[in-house]
Structures are given as C-alpha cells and as structure tokens.
Structure 1
Amino acid sequence: MELRLLRYFYTIAEELNISRAAEILHITQPTLSRQLRELEIELDTQLVDRTGRTLALTEAGHFLKSRAAEILTLTDATTEEFMDRKKNLFSGHVVIGCVEADNSDTLAMLLEDFVNDYPRVTFEIFSATSDLIIERLDRGLLDMAILLEPVNTAKYKTLALPRTETWGLLVGSDSYQASQEVITPEMLPGLPLMLSARPEVCQMLLDWAAVPAEKLNVVGNFNLSFNVIPLVAHDVAAALMIEGAVTGRTGDETVFVPLAPKMATECVLAWRRERPLSPVAAELIQYFKDAFGH
C-alpha cells in the first residue's frame, strides 16, 4: 500500500467529505473518489459507507484509520528527523572565487539552497578576474572558483555551468555603435577600446576579428567592470566584456551591443585536483553536480 493512498484515505476519514478532503489534498474530487475505490479494491474491503448525504466509516475503515494515523505519524516524524540531521550534519566555512558573469546568479541560487539545508555553514565570496582567482585557488586560499573561459584548467577538476556568456561592447548611449544591433569585425579598427588585461581574452578578440593586434586602437586595460562603466558613459572608449558582467549595473548612459558573428564562452566551476576537499566544500560541489545532471 502506498503512503500516498494511505494519506488520502486518512484525510477522507477525518473529513468524512470527499469535496473537503480533495480541497485539503489539492487534487480533484473525481480523482480522490477513484483513489478511494482503488484502495478498497486492493484491500478487498469496503472502507466507507456511501449511503446518505454524508460518508461513514465501516468497521474496516475505522481500523485502517487508526493504523494510518500511526503509520503517517511515524513517517512524518522520521522524515523530520532526517531533515534535522541533514541541517546539522555539516558546519564549517567555504571560500569561493567568482568572476563577474551571468553565472554569478547560478552560484547565488545554489548557495541559497545550500545554506538553507546547512544553516551552520558560513561562506565567503571573492570576486575578481580569472587570473587573480586562479592565483588564490593555487595558493589554497579558495576551496573552489567560478572561472570564465578561455582559461587553462589542466590543474583542476571542472564542471561546466549552464549559462553561456555572450561577449560584446559596452558603448556610450550617444555613440554610433549604440544605434547598431551588433558589432561586426570591420567596425573595430580605429575604435577606442578598453580590453581585459588577460592575454587570452585579447587573443580571442583578435581571432574573432581576424586582424593583427596593431589594427586595434587599445587605449586601456581593466580587470573588473565597475570602474570601466563611467569611462564608457563619458565616451572615453568602448569596453569589451560579457553581458552578464553589466546586466543590472548600467543606466541609460551605456548600451551593451553583442558581437556578430556571436562570440560566446562558458563558465566552469573549478577546484584543485590534488588538494583534499573539506566535507563542506565536497558537499557544495555535489550540489552543483546534482543541479546540472553530472
């Protein structure tokens, strides 16, 4: 006998009214009536007397209600005990590096579930570029990190995150580029640009544009987008970045324009291969694996 059917019957036995029981259980009245008949067929016993306007329990129905109360109480108590055990199973601290990206929301959602399940766990988030985060990861100052490709992950175990990061130019809203739907390679030469200080990102742009480095007018480099946004707003230069780094951070003075053909990369969750993980860090990584089917 399924616990679900037992709970259905117990609610009927308490209410002695199919309509009220169905409302409490959030199912339709015909569905509940059908489940009751199937339970009676399974037990080969009439549980409810349906004569008259109200329901009445048969002798077998009273017996099953008593047993159902015991079984459901024990089931609920056991479930609650396991939930309490889960919440108190881990305590500790986890340190996570994270780039500016759309996948920052992915981290937020997973952490929300994690600290809800393990309220004794505390966490720290270190935001920076992939290079700075990798440096801290290698020194053992981070348990894990969300990194933006392109990045060399040979030393790490990795897990691809679900959101693709779209590259484009952040431009001033009064600029010619702001009126365009996309930025194409032929629009880059001569355009003042601010690029990431990471060589991999610069090379990725050169490969996309199919131009030598001397064809680009790079006026500055940056690591995080926060201080770049005012420079773009004042038309100092356009900034190459991913859309997720500026979503919700900019006002009417700047516009993000994607590159075409599309240039997109992924974020990965990374942790050192040879370094043992704390129980808290291992459990958080498992949350990521479970969430994304790995």
Structure 2
Amino acid sequence: MEIRLLKYFLAVAEEQNITQAAKRLHITQPTLSRQIREFEESLQVNLFIRKNKKLYLTESGTYLKKKAEEILALDEKVEQEFANYQNKMLSGQISIGCVEANSSHFLSKMLEEMITNHPQVTFNIFSGTSNDIVEKLDKGLLDIALLIEPISEGNYNKLILPEKEEWGLLVSTEHYLANRPNVLAEDILGVPLICSSRKAVQDLFFSWGKFNEENLNIVGKYNLIFNVISLVENKVGAAFSLKGATTNRTNKIKFLPFEPKLETNCVLVWKKGSLLNTTVRAFIQHIKYALEA
C-alpha cells in the first residue's frame, strides 16, 4: 500500500469532493479519480459512496482513514528521526502525550529550557485520555508521555515527577457543599456524581471512600474533565477530578479536596525497548538531571 495513495485517499475523504481534493494535491481531477478507482479495485472494497454531490466514507473507508492517518504520522516521524540521525546537532521534534494535570507546568519548564539550549528542537503535544495516549505510545506515534498513576508498569520506563496530583470533588459554587474546606467520604453519598470512565481511576475513588459502586449516585462518566465543566456549573452533578485539571477554568466551579487526602504521582513514561532518537534521549536526560538537582 503506497504512501502516495493513502495521501490521495485522505485528501478525498477530508474534502468529500474529487475536484477539490485534486486542487489540493496539485494533480488533475481525472488522474485522482483513476487512482482512487484503482485503489478500491486493489482493495476489493468501496471506500466512498456518493450522496447529495458529496463523497462519504463507507464503513471500510472509515476504518482505512483511521489507519491511514496513523501510518502517515508514523511515516513523517520516521523521516524526521532519520534526518535527526544524520545531523549531529540536536534538532527535530519531540512528540509528547499529556493528560490534564498540575505537572504539565513542570513539563513546560523542561521544554522551555530544552528549546532555549537547542533552538532547532521543536515539539508536538497530544492531549487526551490516558488510554488514547498509551495507545499512541505503543504504536510509536509518541516518544514520551505524561500520565497519572496508576499505570501498567511492565512495558514502560518511568520518572516520577516532583509534584503530587491531588484528587477531590468539583462542584458548582452554588452547590450545598461549596462552602466546605474539604469533602469526607460520607458527604458524597447521595450526591449526583460524574466519574472518570477509566476503570483504574474509578477503583482509586472507590478504595478511598470504601464505596461500592451500587451505593453511589453516578449519573454520568467522562474521559476529559473539560467536557463536564459546564455540567458541573449547571449542577447536573459533582465531578471526581484532579485539582490541576480544573485550575483557572471558570469562577463558577470550586475544587474541594478530599479528607483524608487522596494523592497520586504524575509520571513521565516511554516504552521499554523503543529506539528513541538522540533529541528525545537528551530531553529525558535533561529531566533526570532536574529531578536529581
């Protein structure tokens, strides 16, 4: 499967129009039509259906689009890494996955120092859930990742970052708990809750409060806290959340820490056995020195 054909396919999928895609690719419309037709024939599937003068992806086309995006991202990354290998001076891109956490400030400081010392170094940050980030890390689409424990440690090297991440309850400023300095386990019983969809985080919460899930009033689950802030503001529910994920988002919500405290480590991880380029290895070493200082 040629990279060129995948680029043609993605252009048509994004433009939903052969003519517009051909202009974007700087080739003729008949040439692109023929290439897509021959591509479909070689795969023995229809990738597009025409409706209302637009091209829409079939189920097979949707699957291929996701894989094509991953392949092209990896292809670009390999090209960049090979260019770095040929250049003794530190340069190129560091691909970083990052969850919502206070420790992102530490990562920002490390990046600032790295770029100041090596102006040809750039970075690409992918923000998402732990599951999304780990998937990309495993596929080689990310070099390193900032994650919240607990994580599966068997496949990854890790550095524990200095700042602990504090868990608590995110409530509307009009919530009846909002004037409390903190939240006890018994305060949560009966409160409509919005919890993380990540099982490891749910288990952490249940263990802290000695809860059984069936005894809690869980009205919804989320993958990124950003998506539920408006729900908390409108008193749909209170959200189990990290303090760092909600800092300075709005003055209509309030973070209430748990009592007793519930804290976890934020860690920088990279896949064991992965062939990291010189720039990424230098960045990891820079962080190690900062942690040892």
Per-residue Cα deviation, 1:156-195 (whole angstroms, up to 9, x for no partner):
0000000000000110001111111111111112111111
1:75-134 CA-partner distances (Å, limit 9, x unpaired): xxxxxxxxxxxxx82111110001100001011000000011111111100011111111
Q: Aligned to 1:244, what secondary structure does the other structure show?
A: coil
Q: Distance in 2 between matches of 1:114 and 1:269?
A: 16
Match of 1:172 in 2: 172
Deviation string, structure 1 residues 174-219 (Cα, Å, up to 9, x no partner): 1111111111111112111111110011111111111211011111
- Give the alignment of 1:79-94 within 5 angstroms: 89-94=89-94
Matched positions, count:
206
Q: 1:216: which partner in 2?
A: 216
Matched, 1:231 2:226: no
Q: Secondary structure of the equivalent of 2:265?
A: strand
Q: CA deviation at 1:225?
A: 1.6
Looking at structure 2, the residues matched to 101 and 110 of structure 1 have their Cα atoms a distance apart, in angstroms, of 15
Q: Which residue of 2 aligns with 1:268?
A: 267
SS of the equivalent of 1:110 reads helix
Distance 2:287 2:250 in 1: 30
Q: Which runs of 4+ in 1 moved over 3 A?
A: none
Where does residue 250 of structure 2 map in the other structure? 250
Q: State the partner residue of 1:84.
A: none
Tell me the C-alpha RMSD between the 2 structures.
1.1
Whichever residue aligns with residue 222 of structure 1, its letter is Y
1:1-294 correspondence runs (5 A): 89-251=89-251, 253-293=252-292
Tell me which structure has the larger Cα radius of gyration: 1
SS of match in other structure, 2:226: coil
Which letter maps to 2:222? F
Gaps of at least 5 residues in structure 2 are 1-87
What residue is the counterpart of 1:6 in the other structure? none
Specify the code of the residue in structure 2 equivalent to 1:163.
Answer: E
* In 1, Cα distance between equivalents of 2:164 and 2:261: 11
Deviations 1:209-232 (A, max 9, x none): 112110111111111121211110
SS in 2 for 1:220: strand
SS in 2 for 1:113: helix
Quote the residue 1:20 is aligned against.
none
Three-state SS of the structure 1 residue aligned to 2:219 is strand
* TM-score, with structure 1 as normaliser: 0.69
**Separation of aligned partners in 2, 1:151 and 1:250:** 30
**Unpaired runs of at least 5, structure 1:** 1-87
Shift of 1:250: 2.1
